[in-house]
Structure 1
Amino acid sequence: MAQIRIENLRKDFGDFTAVQSSSFTIEDGEFFMLLGPSGCGKTTTLRMMAGLELPTSGEIYIDGEEVGTRRASQRDIAFVFQMFALYPHMNVRRNIAYPLRSQGVSRAETKRRVEEIARLLGIEDILDTPVGGLSGGDRQRVGLGRAIVREPKAFFMDEPLGALDAEFREHMAEELRALHDRMGATTVYVTHDQLEAMQMGDKIVVMNHGVVEQFGVPQDLYDWPATLFVAGFLGSPPMNVLRFDGAVAQGAEVLDLAGAAIAVPAAREGARGALALGVRPEHVHLEAEAGYRAQVLATEYLGTTQIVTLRTAQGEVKARIPSDIHVREGETTGLRFDARNVTLFDVASGRALRSAGNEKVLAHG
C-alpha cells in the first residue's frame, strides 16, 4: 500500500475551474473520504488521482513517485465505480479473475487468489453464478473482489454504495470498513453523504465549488468547522449559525453572545464586520431563566432525544434535548449555549476565527 500526496492540484474545463489548487496527504493505510455536494469537484479530484483525467496543473504522488502524467494502467491502483461495471456475459469467478488473466498471471495463481478473495468477501457459494441475477449487495462484492484481487497500491471508490437502499447501504458501509481494516489498504472514497463519511473515514476532505474547505479527522471537523459551509454541511441537524451585527469594542477580550462568553482578541484579527455564532444542537439548552429568549416552533421525537426548533431574534435554532423534557409549541423559554463548544465566524470571509497559537476555535465559559 502507499501514501498519496496531492500538491496544488487544479483542473480546468475551458473557462470552468472544477478543482482549485487542492493540497492534502493521504497516509499509508488510511480510509480517506472526499466529501461534498454534487458538483464540488470531489469526483474530478479522484479521477485525476486515478489517471482518468489529466490535471491542468499540480502534482500527484503515489508511493513517493510523481504520476500526474501517467496513464491509469501505469499507476498500480484499482477503481471501484458506483454501478460496479461487471461483465454480464461472465460468471462471478471470471469477473473477479479478469484483471489477473489480462496480466498473464498463471491459472493456478489466479484460481488461488480468486478463491481467497471470495472467502474474504463471503461469496464462495456464488463463484459459478452468472452476475446478471445477483442482488445489489452481491454485485457490489464482486466489483470489490475484482479490484482487490490485483493487490494494488491503492483503492479508489466513487460512491460505490450509492445505488443501494438506505438500510442495506449502512450494512455494506460497515462491511467495507471492516474489509479495509483487515487488508490494511490505502483507500480513497468519494461520497456526498456526510453520515457515511463520518462513519467510515479516518480523515475527511470537505470540498465546495472546487475548493478544499477543511481537511482532518471526522471529530475535529464536526466540533471545530473551519468555515460556515462545513458548519452547515456536517451534522444532522447541522450547526446552528446566528448572525450578530455590530462591531466588537476595540480592545475587548470577551464577547458575550447569547450567554456564551467568547474570547476574541487574537481571534478578531482579519474579521471585517459582522460575526456569527455557531453551536451544535446538542450544546443548546432550554433554561426558563436564561436571558436569551426564544419561542418554541416545533418538536421532533427521536426516541431518547427530541429536536426542538425555536425562533430567536437572530433566526431559528435547533436544540437536541432529552425526550423526557416537556415543551409546548408556542411557549417562550430561555436558551443557554455551552460556551466551550461555540465557534465564532467572520461573516464576510465565512471562516472561523482562530488563535494563531491554537488550532481550535477560541471559546470558553
Structure 2
Amino acid sequence: MAQIRIENVRKDFGSFNAVKSSTFTVEDGEFFMLLGPSGCGKTTTLRMMAGLELPTSGQIYIDGEEVGQKPASQRDIAFVFQMFALYPHLNVGKNISYPLLSQGMPRAQVKAKVAEVAKILGIEDILNRPVGGLSGGDRQRVALGRAIVREPKAFFMDEPLGALDAEFREHMSEELRALHDRMGATTVYVTHDQLEAMQMGDKIVVMNHGSVEQFGVPQQIYDWPATRFVAQFIGSPPMNFLDFDGTVGKGATAVQFGGVSFAVPQQLEGASGALTLGVRPEHVRLNDAAPYRGEVVASEYLGTTQIVTVKTQHGAVKARIASHEVIRTGTITGLDLDARTLTVFDARTGRALTSIANKEVLGHG
C-alpha cells in the first residue's frame, strides 16, 4: 500500500475555482475521509487523486511518485463508485475477475483470486448469479470485490454506501471498516455524512467551498473545531453558538456578556468586536442556581437522552441531558457550561481563537 500526499492542489473549471490550494497527507494504511457538504470540492479532490481529473496546479504523490499529470491507468489504484458501475451482462464472478483478465493473468490464478475475495466478502454462494437481481448490499460487495481483487496501492471510494437505506448502510459501513482493517489498505473515502466519517475514519479532512477547513483525527475535530463551519457541520445536534460583542485578551481565562462571566480555557490570542462562544450540547447542564438564564422552548426525547432547547438573549442553546429528568416547556432555567470544553470564535472570520486547550490541534502557540 502507499502514502498519498496532496500539495497545493488547485482545480479550476473555466472561471470556477472548485478546489483551492489543498494540502494534506494520507498515511500508508489509513482509512481517510474527505467530508463536506455537496459542492464543497471533496469529489473533485478524490477524482484528482485517482487521475480522473487533472489538477490545474499542485502536486499529487502516491508512494513517493509524483502522478499529478498521469491518467488513472498509470496510478495503480482502484475506484469504487456510489452507483456500483457493474457490468450488467456479466455474472458476479465475471464482474470480479474482469480487471485480472484484462491484465492477462492466467485463468487458474484468476479463479483462485476470485475465490479468495468472495470468501472475504461472504459472497461465495452468488458467484454464478447475474448482478441485475442482487440486493443493494450484495451489489456493493461485488463492486468492492472487483476493486480489491487487484491489490492496488490505494482504494478511492466516492460515497459507496449512498444508495443504501439507513439500516443497511450502517451495517455495510461496519463491514467496510472491518475489511479495511484486515487488508491494511490505504483508503480514501468521500462522504457528506459526518456520522459515517466519525465512525469509520482514522483521519478526516473537512472541506467547504473548495477549501480545507480542518484536518485531523475525529476526536480532535469534534472537540476542538478550527472554524465555526466545522463546529456546526460536525455533531448531532451541532455545537451551540452564543454571539456577543466584547474583548478577549491574550491570557484571558473568562469572557463576559449578558452580565455573566464564563470561564474558558486560557486564551493564547486575543480578539475584540463580534465574538462567538461555542459549546457542545453534552457540555451544557441545566442548573436553576446558574446566573445565565433562558426559557425552555422544546424537548426532544431520544431514548436514553433528551435534547432540551433553551432560548437565551444571545441565541438558542441545546443541552443533552438524561431522559428521566423532567423538563417543562415554558420554565426559566439557568445554564452551566463546562469551561474546559469551550471555544471562542472570531465571528467575522469564523476562525477559532487559539487556547491552551486547542493549541496542538490548531497548530499555534
TM-score with structure 2 setting the length: 0.95
d(CA) in 1 for partners of 2:41 and 2:267? Answer: 36
What is the Cα deviation at residue 113 of structure 1? 0.2
2 CA distance for matches of 1:69 and 1:250? 46
Report the secondary structure of 1:352's partner residue: coil
Gaps of 5+ in 2: none
Paired position in structure 1 for 2:165: 165
Q: Is the 8 A contact 1:272 1:348 kept in 2?
A: no
Distance 1:78 1:241 in 2: 42
Aligned residue number for residue 231 of structure 2: 231
Q: 1:122 to 1:357 in 2, by over 3 A?
A: closer
Asked if the contact 1:354–1:361 (Cα under 8 Å) also holds between the matched residues in 2, the reply is: no
- On the 8 A contact 1:224/1:360 being kept in 2, the answer is no
Match of 1:335 in 2: 335
- Could you tell me which residue of structure 2 aligns to residue 299 of structure 1? 299
Q: 1:15-69, CA deviations, whole angstroms, 9 ceiling, x for partnerless residues? A: 1100000000000000000000000000000000000000000000000000001
Distance in 1, Cα, partners of 2:202 & 2:156: 15
Q: Is the 8 A contact 1:259 1:291 kept in 2?
A: no
- C-alpha displacement at 1:225, in angstroms? 0.3
Partners of 1:250 and 1:57 in 2: CA distance: 39
The separation in 2 between residues aligned to 1:100 and 1:265, in whole angstroms, is 57
Moved more, 284-293 or 259-268: 259-268
Tell me, which stretches of 5 or more residues in structure 1 are unaligned? none
Q: What is residue 156 of structure 2 aligned with on the other side?
A: 156
Instruction: Read off the aligned partner of 2:190 and give its amino acid letter.
Output: V
Flag the 1:351–1:22 CA change in 2: closer, same or farther, 3 A.
Answer: same
Separation in 1 of the partners of 2:182 and 2:282?
34
Matched residue, 1:260: 262
Task: Report the residue type matching 1:181 in the other structure.
Answer: D
CA distance, structure 2, for counterparts of residue 357 and residue 347 of structure 1: 20
Equivalent residue, structure 2, for 1:187: 187
Once the two structures are aligned, what percentage of the paired residues are identical?
74
Q: Secondary structure at the match of 2:85?
A: coil
Aligned to 2:208: 208
Partner of 1:114: 114
Q: Aligned ranges for residues 56-135 of structure 1 at < 5 Å?
A: 56-135=56-135
Q: Following superposition, which runs of at least 4 residues in structure 1 exceed 6 angstroms of deviation?
A: none
For 1:193, give the aligned amino acid: D
Partner of 1:26: 26
Cα deviation for residue 125 of structure 1 reads: 0.1
Which aligned pairs between 1:214-293 and structure 2 lie closer than 5 A?
214-248=214-248, 254-256=254-256, 259-263=261-265, 266-268=268-270, 271=271, 273-293=273-293
Match of 1:354 in 2: 354
Partner-residue secondary structure (3-state), 2:246: coil
Deviates more, 1:351-360 or 1:303-312: 351-360
Q: How far has the Cα of 1:81 moved from its partner?
A: 0.2
AA aligned to 2:311 is: R
* Whole-Å separation in 1 of the counterparts to 2:289 and 2:357: 36
- Over the aligned positions, Cα root-mean-square deviation in angstroms equals 1.7
Describe how 1:10-49 pairs up with structure 2 within 5 A.
10-49=10-49
Alignment-mate amino acid for residue 262 of structure 1: V
| 2:265 and 2:357 in contact (8 A); partners too | no
Distance 2:354 2:87 in 1: 52
Q: How far is the alpha carbon of 1:324 from its aligned partner?
A: 1.3
State the secondary structure of the residue aligned to 1:174: helix
- Please state whether the residue corresponding to 2:359 is helix, strand or coil: strand
C-alpha distance after superposition, 1:335-360 (max 9, x if no partner): 00000011111111110000489625
CA distance in structure 1 between the aligned counterparts of 2:127 and 2:286, rounded to whole angstroms: 58
Contact between 1:7 and 1:22, CA under 8 Å: does it hold in 2?
yes
Q: Distance in 2 between matches of 1:281 and 1:153?
A: 41
SS for the counterpart of 1:97 is: helix
User: Contact (CA 8 Å) 1:35, 1:193: kept in 2 or not?
Assistant: yes
Matched, 1:177 2:196: no
Distance 2:127 2:248 in 1: 68
Q: In 2, distance between residues paired with 1:202 and 1:361? A: 15
Given the superposition, is the C-alpha separation of residues 264 and 359 from structure 1 closer, same or farther in structure 2, using an over 3 Å criterion?
closer
Q: Equivalences for 1:133-144 in 2 at 5 Å?
A: 133-144=133-144
- Count residues with an aligned counterpart: 360
| TM superposition shift of 1:255 | 2.4
Q: What's 2:320 paired with?
A: 320
State the distance in 1 between where 2:323 and 2:356 align: 40
SS at match of 1:274: strand
Measured in 2, the distance between the counterparts of 1:360 and 1:71 equals 38
Gap change, CA 1:96 and 1:245, over 3 Å in 2:
same
Q: Report the Cα offset of residue 177 of structure 1.
A: 0.2
